[in-house]
Chain A
Amino acid sequence: MQEWANQLCENRQFGSKMTDSKYFTTTKKGEIFELKAELNSDKKEKKKEAVKKVIASMTVGKDVSALFPDVVNCMQTDNLELKKLVYLYLMNYAKSQPDMAIMAVNTFVKDCEDPNPLIRALAVRTMGCIRVDKITEYLCEPLRKCLKDEDPYVRKTAAVCVAKLHDINAQLVEDQGFLDTLKDLISDSNPMVVANAVAALSEIAESHPNSNLLDLNPQTINKLLTALNECTEWGQIFILDCLANYTPRDDRESQSICERVTPRLSHANSAVVLSAVKVLMKFMEMLPKDLDYYGTLLKKLAPPLVTLLSAEPELQYVALRNINLIVQRRPEIMKHEMKVFFVKYNDPIYVKLEKLDIMIRLASQANIAQVLAELKEYATEVDVDFVRKAVRAIGRCAIKVEQSAERCVSTLLDLIQTKVNYVVQEAIVVIKDIFRKYPNKYESVIATLCENLDSLDEPEARAAMIWIVGEYAERIDNADELLESFLEGFHDESTQVQLQLLTAIVKLFLKKPTETQELVQQVLSLATQDSDNPDLRDRGYIYWRLLSTDPVAAKEVVLAEKPLISEETDLIEPTLLEELICHIGTLASVYHKPPSAFVEGSRGVQHKRLPGSAGSGESVDSPETTSTAGVSDAPPAVIPSQGDLLGDLLNLDLTPTTAGPPPPAPSSGMQLGGMDLLGGGLDSLMGDESEPLGGDLGGTPAIGAGFGAAPAALPASFSAPVSGGLDDLFDLGGGVGMPMGAYSPPKSVWLPAMKAKGLEISGTFARRAGVIQMEMTLTNKAMSVMTDFAIQFNRNSFGLSPAGPLQVLTPLSPNQSIEVALPLNTSGPVMKMDPLNNLQVAVKNNIDVFYFSCQYPISMLFVEDGKMERQIFLATWKDIPNDNESQFQIKDCHLSSDAASNKLQGSNIFTIAKRTVDGQDMLYQSMKLTNGIWVLAELRIQAGNPNYTISLKCRAAEVSQCVFQSYEAVLKN
């Protein structure tokens, strides 16, 4: 008592209030020692004070685990506060003292029988938090009782306890049947119990993706919707998130759920609002667009989203990330709300940047004037990151809204006049993009740009400026001087600038050959002889050879027309967007990545998909509908990255580490396609160049790929890496020594003699040892000799182009035929054709130029490393949305499944697994196209039935039809 009084006096003395801060005071004797003594005191009050001190130390991270036995001794008490404090301590330290923790078990078990529901709940709750195996064994019985307790407060606490226990020992929970009890609680009369049961089940389900824990059917959905109205805000979040996993049977059910969820949009808790938005966004997909209710619902979504933006900045940030997704999926929702995204100068930077992003997405002809005025305002702000992004945004507006381009350009010019260094640089980078989008429109501004040449110190801006100078060299009088000035510090520039400079000077040379010969020689020698960078060196060599062998060809290659860049360079890919819409409000939506990409512990998260809209998707087995369904609105071309905007030529990544194992050295007499091309005259051009040509393996094929490679922007639908062209060149090596030949259709007449002044061409395609060949028979049916044959392809879906000239060495006399095999590569310019495998060819001879088109079997594009790992196959199969699946019938085929498999393997269709169910063989097969597209197939063969069924799944669903045709052709020949 003496000490107690002392303390009281001391507190008064120092004028300190009776606050908990006293628990932090330490004495010289040693804190632990003193606390021990106090904990073992007879005085209840003193004990409590001591426990409080212990807790206080714990909160600041001090280790007080040594007091474990002493604290546990205080547990047997009627004082609820003391009991709670001891429990707090136990939860923190039980794990470090498992043997001691057992001491507490008896009290827990006793408390679970207490008449006061508060104490029963507290006991079961605390026990679940003690992560010690020995304790969990004792937990089962009390938990079972509590789950069926008469008091709902105890039941709801017990529901969460099942989730805790599952986290510690999943097997135990399953063995004890707690999961079933938990499922029963979904039908509980008390909404709070229902909400907690749902929350617990959802958490458990996260670690069991395939278990059917939350078996959602119309009955349970109805129960959830009833509970939704009555439970707490947090419970509403759990229930809404759970509802979002349900797929309604039809549009009527979908509508009725939406109707019951919409009131949640008026909740004060923003998390409830966003979860409700998720449910509505998902179920809306099923509603027919002409339904009145659909329009009503769209209108209802905007106001709550706008309101979220007036909340605290952290909430705004999450809301903005989600709105970003929503406006991509359904731009109509927010189209009138542009103003709420205008930036306030004291918004945190993370909010500013997000708002800017959404402003651009919403920009349209109607509001562009306002948007531009705002962006211009932002460009004068203080924060450098924000200013840069604002300037970029102006460029994006120009590209997105064509009518505004002129105004954007003049705004950018105004900004350049400010002479603020980083603004100028950023503006030049975006103006280059505008030139790419609208060629021959705004070049008048080049003079202004050139004035700022000296102030550019960032590589990206320098590279952009150099690109502009090179591209428009003919209009800039002193282009050579400008480029020459850059050349002085060539070796100090970054690679990006060096590559650009090289290309620009070559362009200049091709445009003004007379004055710039010296310059081009200088840059070529700088690039090839003085540089250690393989990219630069290789590009230098290519130009060198091109220029010295065939300047005309060089002109065609270097000054080729570039594809226009498109507005939506930063759109999220549609399938990913669909998945993210299903994850509105989650971390995935904040990071714009699927949960499987980053959430730890989510073992095999299932990919969620939006439900299909009513009416579609019924005629799955009709190839026409399926091939158009998924891709009818083919995504616009995406330019893979900023760097490629610049790379007008040969911007192939030369470090394709992903391309698989390095190609084995060609063993047989087979020649690599690339080698073939580089042979002959080139060596002589090299003169006594000491460095062997393409010394490293990576270099050789790359040069081959580079040939004829024009702007290498692949359409987005082929989500192939840019280095796709390289991959398949590597495959040339891999294919050496394939046992079986690939299927090749018989030759057919492509160009009848009547149409081609006597030249008849019949041909076929084949893949021989990894090389695609076009095999032709040229017949001269005219009266005169034919010479000077050459061949060219139009752009086509897979970038097929001749890997060398047409080898018709001797003149073709009348009535003579010649067999020619033209090796092809797939690094040519890409354009989607209809049908996909259509190829337009021009053949020239001394008489005229003739055009014809032919179709190649897509199987010749199947590469040799198209065999997928089983696991990956499974994952990919699941991953590809069902919309992309097509089913076909192959009739009258009499092969056994093994024979079929062998035959298909010859054409690089690999069987990964085989399963036999009820006399039906299922072959799971994969193939990979030269551009990296994977096609997965399931081939079902019923013994005795000549009709096979094949299901094809591919991210680019449009190839399915062609693949099916190849299957049919391969199997029947």
Chain B
Amino acid sequence: MIHSLFLINASGDIFLEKHWKSVVSRSVCDYFFEAQERASEPENVPPVIPTPHHYLISVLRHRIYFVAVIQSEVPPLFVIEFLHRVVDTFQDYFGVCTEAAIKDNVVVVYELLEEMLDNGFPLATESNILKELIKPPTILRTMVNTITGSTNVGEQLPTGQLSVVPWRRTGVKYTNNEAYFDVVEEIDAIIDKSGSTITAEIQGVIDACVKLTGMPDLTLSFMNPRLLDDVSFHPCVRFKRWEAERILSFIPPDGNFRLLSYHVSSQNLVAIPVYVKHNITFREGSSQGRFDLTLGPKQTMGKVVESVLVSSQLPRGVLNVNLNPSQGTYTFDPVTKLLSWDVGKINPQKLPSLKGTMSLQAGASKPDENPTFNIQFKIQQMAISGLKVNRLDMYGEKYKPFKGIKYMTKAGKFQVRT
């Protein structure tokens, strides 16, 4: 099981260590540092690193490496999932997960880690339960605690810990009973230089914020459930009903949670909401290159494509660029060669474009690699897969809750090759 945890910042300092079994010397991280040195980019450090006596399994999030040390055969996914859970918990508790936040709350962090694992076995990882055991710090509470001497450690066994619905505590009360669901879809796509789609898939989630009194039992049904290729549920969802009726039936956790994530794969046709016209050319023997990029909407069902951001890693030979955006602003970093264009909204009447020249190193041959454009965008009030919620019903409680559903489509890893 998980032996120890080291937190390492971007500059390679170990700023926190926690051991659940015997103490493992921090020199074990030297193997990690070696791998880090070999990696060209911070994210290229391999997630599993063998050392003579241990294995280091790491994740990189918020520019912090969370390095777990294991000694015996442990499923690596188990460790990685757990580490991500740790990060999520920190974020949940402290708002952000940064080195500063962790250092500021080091005692809570320690208490949390101790509560999450016992001898390397996960103990309590549900945010509900943890929050009952260790109350999240707020400035007010810290002040009150320091003055009154009360603690932020729960004295009682959390109610959810052992019940059949461990994700929900009992005795929840609200004056306004509300349940909001956000259907968020991300499009991952690769578009080739001629504009045709090589691969496109949709990763969707339904995030919920449920503030309902008592023990409500909800059912949520879709107009077109067959769209979903693969689904992963929050443990609260009754799998049998989904299998039989394609209905989500569940007793929700209290507060924010992810009800469902789903996948609509390339087997189905995935609509691509933007198109890119590009013309990037270098001429042999000339130190100038032409750059011409135009964006346009398609298949958006009349909705506006907004928060558009285009970024690209230009070839190493490019010294600088001189471009003219029809809207928005662009930046180019001559060191990293990263071009980034903040476009904003796409107006179908007046398509945004970015045109100009690139200057190359004099005398250098024309670059071999073709830049790829990474595009981010958002479309409100639309789920690109066409998924629609049919109804949401509540049983088990008498009151009438306020219900809301919101749809949004975003670009995930959306790449256009040139």
Name A206's contact: one of B26, B73, B81, B108 (CB within 8 Å).
Answer: B73
What are 13 A-B contacts with C-beta separation under 8 Å?
Answer: A52-B107, A59-B16, A61-B17, A206-B73, A234-B122, A234-B125, A268-B234, A306-B265, A307-B230, A307-B232, A370-B198, A587-B76, A590-B48
Name B139's contact: one of A17, A79, A85 (CB within 8 Å).
Answer: A17
Instruction: Flag whether B169 is at the interface (Cβ < 8 A).
Output: no
Q: Are the C-beta atoms of B40 and A342 separated by less than 8 Å? A: no
Specify which chain A residues have a CB less than 8 angstroms from the CB of B182 in the assembled complex. Answer: none
Q: Are the C-beta atoms of A196 and B76 separated by less than 8 Å? A: no
Instruction: Flag whether A374 is at the interface (Cβ < 8 A).
Output: yes
Specify which chain A residues have a CB less than 8 angstroms from the CB of B164 in the assembled complex. Answer: 230
Q: Are the C-beta atoms of B47 and A268 separated by less than 8 Å? A: no
Given contacts A79-B151, A303-B230, 8 further A-B contacts (CB under 8 A): A55-B106, A85-B111, A160-B118, A230-B164, A233-B235, A340-B266, A590-B48, A590-B76
Q: Are the C-beta atoms of B122 and A318 separated by less than 8 Å? A: no
A18: nearest chain-B partner, CB-CB: B142
Name A23's contact: one of B20, B107, B263, B316 (CB within 8 Å).
Answer: B107
Instruction: Flag whether B105 is at the interface (Cβ < 8 A).
Output: yes
Q: Are the C-beta atoms of B43 and A313 separated by less than 8 Å? A: yes
A237: nearest chain-B partner, CB-CB: B78
The stretch among B153-161, B377-385, B402-410 that forms the contact with chain A is: B153-161
The stretch among B215-223, B292-300, B368-376 that forms the contact with chain A is: B368-376
Within 732-753 of A, Cβ neighbours of B (below 8 Å) are at none
Within 248-275 of A, Cβ neighbours of B (below 8 Å) are at 263, 266-271, 273-275
B237: nearest chain-A partner, CB-CB: A266
Specify which chain A residues have a CB less than 8 angstroms from the CB of B240 in the assembled complex. Answer: 263
A83: nearest chain-B partner, CB-CB: B153
The stretch among B53-61, B277-285, B326-334 that forms the contact with chain A is: B53-61
Q: Are the C-beta atoms of A118 and B121 separated by less than 8 Å? A: no
Instruction: Flag whether A100 is at the interface (Cβ < 8 A).
Output: no
Q: Are the C-beta atoms of B1 and A203 separated by less than 8 Å? A: yes
The verdict on A315 contacting B149 (CB below 8 Å), with A19-B104, A310-B263, A342-B190 known, is no
Q: Residues 1-31 of chain A: 1 if any B CB is under 8 Å from the residue's CB, otherwise 0?
A: 0000000100000000111110110000000
Instruction: Flag whether B188 is at the interface (Cβ < 8 A).
Output: yes
Q: Are the C-beta atoms of A268 and B157 separated by less than 8 Å? A: no
Q: Are the C-beta atoms of B121 and A199 separated by less than 8 Å? A: yes
Q: For the complex, give the distance between the alpha carbons of A135 and B67 in Å.
A: 31
Q: Are the C-beta atoms of A81 and B153 separated by less than 8 Å? A: yes
Specify which chain B residues have a CB less than 8 angstroms from the CB of A142 in the assembled complex. Answer: none
Instruction: Flag whether B84 is at the interface (Cβ < 8 A).
Output: yes
Name B233's contact: one of A118, A266, A346 (CB within 8 Å).
Answer: A266
CB distance from B62 to the nearest CB of A (A): 12
Q: For the complex, give the distance between the alpha carbons of A95 and B26 in Å.
A: 17
Within 293-344 of A, Cβ neighbours of B (below 8 Å) are at 303-304, 306-307, 310, 312-315, 317-319, 336-337, 339-340, 342, 344
The stretch among A123-131, A874-882, A940-948 that forms the contact with chain B is: A123-131
Indicate the member of A317, A337, A595 with the most B CB atoms within 10 Å.
A317
Q: Residues 574-606 of chain A: 1 if any B CB is under 8 Å from the residue's CB, otherwise 0?
A: 000000000001111011000100111110000
Q: Are the C-beta atoms of A586 and B75 separated by less than 8 Å? A: yes
A584: nearest chain-B partner, CB-CB: B75
Q: Are the C-beta atoms of A153 and B81 separated by less than 8 Å? A: no
Q: Are the C-beta atoms of B235 and A346 separated by less than 8 Å? A: no
Specify which chain B residues have a CB less than 8 angstroms from the CB of A591 in the assembled complex. Answer: 50
Instruction: Flag whether A97 is at the interface (Cβ < 8 A).
Output: no
The verdict on A306 contacting B15 (CB below 8 Å), with A266-B239, A267-B232 known, is no
A11: nearest chain-B partner, CB-CB: B146
Q: Are the C-beta atoms of B266 and A350 separated by less than 8 Å? A: no
Instruction: Flag whether A783 is at the interface (Cβ < 8 A).
Output: no
Specify which chain A residues have a CB less than 8 angstroms from the CB of B18 in the assembled complex. Answer: 59
Instruction: Flag whether B110 is at the interface (Cβ < 8 A).
Output: yes
Q: Are the C-beta atoms of B48 and A128 separated by less than 8 Å? A: no
Instruction: Flag whether A241 is at the interface (Cβ < 8 A).
Output: yes
Instruction: Flag whether B89 is at the interface (Cβ < 8 A).
Output: no
Specify which chain A residues have a CB less than 8 angstroms from the CB of B201 in the assembled complex. Answer: 310, 340
Q: For the complex, give the distance between the alpha carbons of A118 and B39 in Å.
A: 45
Instruction: Flag whether A37 is at the interface (Cβ < 8 A).
Output: no
The stretch among A378-386, A459-467, A704-712, A820-828 that forms the contact with chain B is: A378-386
Q: For the complex, give the distance between the alpha carbons of A346 and B338 in Å.
A: 13
Name B188's contact: one of A230, A310, A418, A601 (CB within 8 Å).
Answer: A310
Q: Residues 623-640 of chain A: 1 if any B CB is under 8 Å from the residue's CB, otherwise 0?
A: 000000000000000000
Specify which chain A residues have a CB less than 8 angstroms from the CB of B74 in the assembled complex. Answer: 586-587
Interface size in chain A (residues, C-beta < 8 A): 110
Q: For the complex, give the distance between the alpha carbons of A590 and B76 in Å.
A: 8
A300: nearest chain-B partner, CB-CB: B230
The verdict on A602 contacting B118 (CB below 8 Å), with A61-B26, A339-B198 known, is no
Q: Are the C-beta atoms of A232 and B122 separated by less than 8 Å? A: yes
Within 385-410 of A, Cβ neighbours of B (below 8 Å) are at none
CB distance from B88 to the nearest CB of A (A): 11
Specify which chain A residues have a CB less than 8 angstroms from the CB of B153 in the assembled complex. Answer: 80-81, 84
Within 214-250 of B, Cβ neighbours of A (below 8 Å) are at 229-235, 239-240, 242-243
Instruction: Flag whether A192 is at the interface (Cβ < 8 A).
Output: yes
Q: For the complex, give the distance between the alpha carbons of A873 and B238 in Å.
A: 52
Instruction: Flag whether A758 is at the interface (Cβ < 8 A).
Output: no
Specify which chain B residues have a CB less than 8 angstroms from the CB of A45 in the assembled complex. Answer: 146, 149
Q: Are the C-beta atoms of B155 and A118 separated by less than 8 Å? A: yes
Specify which chain B residues have a CB less than 8 angstroms from the CB of A314 in the assembled complex. Answer: 47, 57-60, 80
Specify which chain B residues have a CB less than 8 angstroms from the CB of A383 in the assembled complex. Answer: 40
Q: For the complex, give the distance between the alpha carbons of A17 and B138 in Å.
A: 11
Q: Are the C-beta atoms of B104 and A344 separated by less than 8 Å? A: no
Q: Are the C-beta atoms of B103 and A20 separated by less than 8 Å? A: yes
The verdict on A271 contacting B72 (CB below 8 Å), with A92-B19, A118-B155, A196-B121 known, is no
Instruction: Flag whether A420 is at the interface (Cβ < 8 A).
Output: yes
CB distance from A383 to the nearest CB of B (A): 7
Instruction: Flag whether B290 is at the interface (Cβ < 8 A).
Output: no
Name A348's contact: one of B43, B156, B232 (CB within 8 Å).
Answer: B43
Within 404-418 of B, Cβ neighbours of A (below 8 Å) are at 412-413, 415, 417
A192: nearest chain-B partner, CB-CB: B162
Q: Are the C-beta atoms of A118 and B47 separated by less than 8 Å? A: no
CB distance from B292 to the nearest CB of A (A): 20
Specify which chain B residues have a CB less than 8 angstroms from the CB of A381 in the assembled complex. Answer: 369
Instruction: Flag whether A170 is at the interface (Cβ < 8 A).
Output: no
Instruction: Flag whether A167 is at the interface (Cβ < 8 A).
Output: yes
Q: For the complex, give the distance between the alpha carbons of A418 and B108 in Å.
A: 58
Name A163's contact: one of B46, B119, B199, B263 (CB within 8 Å).
Answer: B119
Instruction: Flag whether A117 is at the interface (Cβ < 8 A).
Output: yes
Q: Residues 13-39 of chain B: 1 if any A CB is under 8 Å from the residue's CB, otherwise 0?
A: 011111111110010000000000001
CB distance from B262 to the nearest CB of A (A): 8
Specify which chain B residues have a CB less than 8 angstroms from the CB of A203 in the assembled complex. Answer: 1, 72
Specify which chain B residues have a CB less than 8 angstroms from the CB of A20 in the assembled complex. Answer: 103-108
Q: Are the C-beta atoms of B118 and A59 separated by less than 8 Å? A: no
Instruction: Flag whether A871 is at the interface (Cβ < 8 A).
Output: no
The verdict on A585 contacting B75 (CB below 8 Å), with A153-B161, A303-B265, A310-B203 known, is yes
In the A-B complex, the 3 residue pairs with the smallest Cβ-Cβ separation, listed nearest first, are: A303-B230, A19-B104, A81-B151
Instruction: Flag whether A442 is at the interface (Cβ < 8 A).
Output: no
Q: Are the C-beta atoms of A167 and B21 separated by less than 8 Å? A: yes
Instruction: Flag whether B114 is at the interface (Cβ < 8 A).
Output: yes
Q: Are the C-beta atoms of A315 and B107 separated by less than 8 Å? A: no
Specify which chain A residues have a CB less than 8 angstroms from the CB of B162 in the assembled complex. Answer: 152-153, 190, 192
B166: nearest chain-A partner, CB-CB: A232
Name A350's contact: one of B44, B75, B198 (CB within 8 Å).
Answer: B44
Q: Residues 798-809 of chain A: 1 if any B CB is under 8 Å from the residue's CB, otherwise 0?
A: 000000000000
Q: For the complex, give the distance between the alpha carbons of A267 and B237 in Å.
A: 10
Q: For the complex, give the distance between the alpha carbons of A21 and B105 in Å.
A: 7
Instruction: Flag whether B335 is at the interface (Cβ < 8 A).
Output: no
Instruction: Flag whether B267 is at the interface (Cβ < 8 A).
Output: yes
Specify which chain B residues have a CB less than 8 angstroms from the CB of A377 in the assembled complex. Answer: 192, 417
Instruction: Flag whether B77 is at the interface (Cβ < 8 A).
Output: yes
Q: Are the C-beta atoms of A270 and B81 separated by less than 8 Å? A: yes
B260: nearest chain-A partner, CB-CB: A268
Q: For the complex, give the distance between the alpha carbons of A20 and B190 in Å.
A: 46
